[in-house]
Homo-oligomer: A and B are copies of this chain.
């Protein structure tokens, strides 16, 4: 296998963890991992550190890392937390009213979503574009809440890639179902914007809480699939 650059190393290792290729509890050391991938130790060291930050690896006290015992409950728990915090942000944004700049950014997100879903299927580029658009959408609402305590509270739960908006798990093998899942999320974006523009705080809050559920991936499905991919924000790959 030809592996180039540290991004590729991180991506390969992350998929091995999420897909169960590396079993929970398994110990990983730099040298054998680097040899198995045919790369030098440096990108592996960087990847391990990043995956520990994401909550997928646990650093062992002396040396090396261990694959974390992730389960559906952890992910659900983080997603619920994200839901109520983003719900609060949307409620406050609706009550305060959106600035024109924020209105324009959200309208642009909806427009971009329309383009992404226009031809009835999602290419690799479409999914990457969705991740970027989605991240902008959520950031604008956080910003529009004018409550910095929300972002602070989100921070500790940002690391699980399946509970964060900065990453998305997508299974290209099951593309029809995945298309519908994301189209549904995009239609929720429309409803959120409608609620924000009409100053319906309770409705905006309820929608954002539910929207977090919509993104929720069945962890078992991910683990059992050999084709699952994790898409991340360009700047964070």
Contacts and interface: CB of A to CB of B under 8 A. Distances in A.
Contacts of A157: 149, 152-153
Contacts of A209: 203, 206
Contacts of A184: 184, 187
A153 B81 contact: yes
Interface stretch (A18-26, A31-39, A84-92, A222-230): A84-92
What number of copies of this chain does the assembly contain? 4
Interface stretch (A99-107, A129-137, A165-173, A194-202): A194-202
B80 A149 contact: yes
Interface size, A (range): 35 or more
A180 interface: yes
Contact of A85 (B81, B155, B200): B81
Contacts of A73: 146
17 contacts: A73-B146, A77-B150, A78-B149, A81-B149, A85-B153, A91-B202, A95-B201, A152-B156, A152-B157, A153-B156, A180-B183, A184-B184, A191-B214, A199-B199, A201-B202, A202-B205, A206-B206
